[in-house]
Each structure stands twice: as structure tokens, then as C-alpha cells.
Amino acid sequence: MKDIKNALCKQLLTKEGLIGDYNYKHLFTPKVPHLRFWKKRPPQDDAVNQPFFAVDQPMPILLGMILGFQHALAMLGGVMAPPLSIASSANLSDADQQYLVSCGLIVSGILTAVQVARARIWKTNYYIGSGLISVVGISFTTVTITSNAFPMMYNSGFCPVDASGAELPCPDGYGAIIATGSVCALSEIAISFLPPKVIKKLFPPIITGSVVVVIGLSLVKSGFKDWLGGSGCMSSDYCPSASAPHPLPWGSAEFIGLGFLVYVSIIAFEKWGAPIMKSCSVILGLLVGCIVAAACNYFDNSSISSAPVANFLWVKTFKLKVYGPAVLPMLAMYSTSALQAIGDITATCDVSRVEVEGPQFQSRIQGCLLADGVSGVLSGLFTLTPVGTFAQNNGVISITKCANRKVGYWCCFYLIVMGVFSKFAAALVAIPKAVLGGMTTFLFGSVFASGLSIIGLCKFTRRDRFILTGALVPGCAAVLIPTWFDNVFTYSGSNDALTGFLQAIIMVMETGYALTAVLGVILNLIIPWAEDDFEAYGISENVELENVSNVNVLMGPKELESQGL
């Protein structure tokens, strides 16, 4: 007890424990062009002299609070964008959208704490959580699924429409999505117990990269619709409605200008902002757009005024029901999420200066995947769509040279507080779609770029290019023409099981990334290796090609050579 008391006194009552000797000026000093201050600066950047705070190293309280808030701001855009897009597809009310944003912030805080804490499963060698600052947010891939699922629900009568055919709010459809996500998350729990090498061999970068590219393409399409005024008013005379404070036709110059202002502001903060501004440039760009939109009377404050002061989980609930047509796309989503999580945790280990190979590294991957799977199950029970590990916070770790888990806990604290105070969520929901679209389009574009970086890991042999082409063409086509498979099946009988099965096939064929994943795996199985493949991947020329074509999915180049295949 005496040691604990002394440690607390040192942390709370001394300069070393409260403030430390960190150079806070570096975090808040922008690189403003044409100022004499920058001409007088020494060539060596302050960041070089900053101390590095390891995962479990003691650190000042003030620094932990500041960097934790920086992490929360860095992931805020990614947490708020998917619920708003999904709620828009389901035509949910403003009150429901406010609840989902609040719920997303709270759940992200809780589940991020699970990842950061890392606990050993009793009497086993398995863990849950990575033990690093692995932040958890709502999966962007779910937006792609719902953009196809809700139109199908409205067409089949699962979601209601009025006498004129206009789509009404569909909370039951949202409940079906979260229930399906919870059930399918069990697949990622099973994947977490597989060795990471096996997962990578089953889904090499040529497949996962193409899947992420198609996901990014679909998300950019969704975000750009909001940029032009909103996806729900494309066929209406005015956006967001005729009764809005500043109604305009969809695609008007004013909407394009608002979104472009956000887009340019993000680039400006990245170019000239201080380190703490660069890591949250997306939110700062959104703030600039909100200020201009408020000055030009684009905001509707009624939803903010009517919102309750506080909110929490289960204030609103939804009927849970598994939606059969969404099962296969959800399973494909969790397989992709597992592969992305492996890449994310590898990058996090690298910037956190911990092992990137060996038993400890493998254990962190297993813990991260298991926590992701458990989080997917819990998210549905928390009335939220599937969640996954975010990678953008690795940039914050790199800039600040701080991988300390205490910062992760502060981040969780800020997220939960922002979620509990529902006025904050109401303000986010009230943001004009054009402003929000400028931010989300930029954010979704980073998903597309992530897919390209994964593909860049390949050697681009003729076989790689063929698989990439064969997988991408149908997937991209499904994104560009999402209803292309609607008229293939003509069955209109009373067999509900057959109808559901056909709808599931239609949804897979019209969900671009699922189609890309299926075709990519098949092509990787059947396309044999050629001589230039062996040369590119460093395999001896005396390998028998016909033997390799049967096992190249399950074994990597080094294993093939070592076994004489």
C-alpha cells in the first residue's frame, strides 16, 4: 500500500508526473509559409529530439490527456460517417441518427479499451486484445452492404413504402442488419484461432487488395452523392427538402462549393498544420465547412434543440432478425476485416517499436483478431453495425512518438464522454450533407488508396495481373451498375426459402467487393504458376509447374521451394 501511495503522489503531485519535460510547443506549432520564424529555425526538426514513450512506460498525465484527445479526434470522422450513411439508406429519423452516432462513439470507446487492455483467456495461451493502441470503429464495409441491402428490402416489402411508393423509415431493416452482423462475426472468432500465415496464404495481397479497392470505390460513390446534396434527394426538386433553411437542387454549385471547401481545407491542414492538426485534419476541414455553412444559413438547429442532454446504449432498440440475403456478403466482409486487421496490427507494432515477428507478434495478431470477432458480436447487441480495427491512428503514434497504452485509455474516455452527451451527436447529424460529403469522400478515398498499397505488395507478374483483372472487372462493374443482376431470376412463387436463396445470390452478385473476393479466390486456385512467377518470387527454375498449381494457394514460395514443389 505504501508503494502504491508513493507512486500516486509522484504521479499527481510532481512536475515529472503531471507535465514532464515533453516539448509541447512542437505539437501546436504550425508550418505557416513565408514567416521569418521558420527561416530562423535550425534544420533539425524538434520531432527528432522528442522522447519515445513505449507501450507500458510511465508518462505525464497532461501529455496523456492531450494525445488521447488527439487520437479521439483522429478517429472521430471514421466513427461518425458510417452510421450516418447507413441511417440515410434506411431513411431513419433524425432522432435515430443522433442515437446511432452517440452509440457509435460509446461502443468505439468501450471496444477500443478491450483491444488496449489485452487479457489472457483463463488456462489457455490465447489472448483477447492486442495490448497496443489499436482503436476500434464502425466498419466502412458495412456501408457497401447496406447500400445494396436496403433497396432490396424495400423492393421485397421487408421495408415499408407509402401509397405513392416513397420509402418510409425502416428500423426493422436496420435491426436485421445488426443481427446478421452479430451472427456472422462468429466466423472471425474462428479465423482468430488460425495461424496468421495460413490466413495470408488463403487470401494473398492480390485478392485482399482488389477487395479493398472495390470497397473504396463503392464508398467514394456513396460519399460523392452526399457531396452533391444528399443521396436521399437525388430525384427530388430540392435538397435536403423544400422546408430546409436553404433548399437547393441536387448537384447545385453551392453544394459542390461547400464540399470542395472542406476538401481543400483538409489538404491545407495537412500541408501547413501543426503535428496535432495534421492527425485530425479531416475533422478540422469539416469544422471549416461547418462554419461557412452556418454563416450561409445551411444549418437546421431544430434537431439540436430538441435532442436530450445525455444518451446511452439501449435508449433505442431494434427488432433483431437474421436477414438471409446479407449473410454471404457479411461473411466475406469479416474475412476481409481479418486480413485488414493483420495489416493494421503489423503497422501498429512497427510504429510502436515492438516485435514484428516471432511468438509475441503472432500472439498480438491472434488477440487482435479475437477481439475484433468478439467486438463484432457485441456491436449488434449494442445496437450498432459491425466494427473493426482502424489504421489511421498509427499516424498519430508516429508523429507524437507515443505508443503508451495510457493514451489509448484517455482516447476511450473522450469517445465515451462525446457519445454520452447527445447534443454533440445532434450537432454532427445536423451538418449539411454537402459539408459531410466533402469530408467522407476524402475519408473513403483513403480506403481506396489502402487497397492500392496492398496490391503494391505483389510482384505484378503476368499471373498476378491476370488475377487482378479478372477479379476487379466484375466487382467494379457491380459498383457502377448496382442493379445489373435484378432481372436474371424470374421466379415469383410462394416458396419463401427459394426466394430468400435467390435474393442472397442477387445480393452477392450486386455487392462488388463480395463478387471480387469470390472470383479472386477461384482464379488464384485455378491459374497455374509460370516461369516468370518463380523468378519474381525467388523460386528455383527446376520446380515442377504442375505440382505448384495444385498447392500454390496453401503454400508460399519459400515453402514450395523447401519441399521441392
Residue 549 lies in a domain: no
Above pLDDT 90, what percent of the chain?
Answer: 19
What CA–CA distance (Å, rounded) separates 132 from 113? 10
Residues 218 and 365: beta-carbon distance below 8 Å:
no
Instruction: Give 389's DSSP letter.
Output: E
Residues 521 and 489: beta-carbon distance below 8 Å:
no
pLDDT band at 106 (very low <50, low <70, confident <90, very high): very high
Asked if residue 547 has pLDDT above 50, the reply is no
In terms of residues, how long is the chain? 565
Asked if residue 505 has pLDDT above 60, the reply is yes
Asked if residue 556 has pLDDT above 50, the reply is no
Residue 427 lies in a domain: yes
Arithmetic mean of pLDDT over the chain: 81
Q: Is 456 helix (H, G, I), strand (E, B) or coil?
A: coil
Most confident of 39-48, 186-195, 505-514: 186-195
What CA–CA distance (Å, rounded) separates 441 from 162? 32
Provide the β-strand partners of residue 387: 138
Q: Encode pLDDT of 251-270 as tens digits.
A: 889 899 999 999 999 899 88
Site of grid cell 528455383: 540
Q: What angle do CA 16, 20, 21 make, to 5 degrees?
A: 130
Q: What is the pLDDT of residue 39?
A: 52
Q: What is the pLDDT of residue 36?
A: 56
Q: Encode pLDDT of 439-465 as tens digits.
A: 888 878 877 887 888 788 788 888 889
Q: Is 167 helix (H, G, I), strand (E, B) or coil?
A: strand
Asked if residue 107 has pLDDT above 70, the reply is yes
Asked if residue 175 has pLDDT above 80, the reply is yes
Environment class of residue 408 by beta-carbon count within 10 Å: exposed (0-12), middle (13-18) or buried (19+)?
Answer: buried
Query: Minimum mean pLDDT among 60-69, 93-102, 528-537: which range?
Result: 528-537
HSE (CB half, 13 Å, CA atoms) of 302?
6
Residue range(s) defining the domain that contains residue 271:
61-120+131-155+169-304+317-537
Residue 14 lies in a domain: no
Asked if residue 17 has pLDDT above 80, the reply is no
pLDDT band at 7 (very low <50, low <70, confident <90, very high): low
Residue 1 lies in a domain: no
Q: What is the pTM of this model?
A: 0.78
And the C-alpha cell for 268?
Answer: 491545407
What CA–CA distance (Å, rounded) separates 246 from 238? 9
pLDDT band at 546 (very low <50, low <70, confident <90, very high): very low
Instruction: Return the closest-CA partner of residue 388 out of 350, 341, 427.
Output: 341
Residue 510 lies in a domain: yes
What CA–CA distance (Å, rounded) separates 11 from 255? 51
Q: Is 161 helix (H, G, I), strand (E, B) or coil?
A: strand
Query: Between helices 61-89 and 94-117, what is the axis angle to 10°?
Result: 140
Residue 11 lies in a domain: no
Is the peptide bond prior to 205 cis by the omega test (within 30 degrees of 0)?
A: no
pLDDT band at 307 (very low <50, low <70, confident <90, very high): confident
Residue 19 lies in a domain: no
Residue 2 lies in a domain: no
Asked if residue 272 has pLDDT above 70, the reply is yes
Instruction: Return the closest-CA partner of residue 192 out of 63, 45, 321, 369.
Output: 369
pLDDT band at 183 (very low <50, low <70, confident <90, very high): very high
Instruction: Return the closest-CA partner of residue 268 out of 440, 32, 559, 556.
Output: 32
**In the chain, how many domains are there?**
1
Asked if residue 559 has pLDDT above 60, the reply is no
SS (H, E, C) 330-369: HHHHHHHHHHHHHHHHHHHHHHCCCCCCCHHHHHHHHHHH
Residues 6+ apart with CB under 8 A from 29: 46, 274
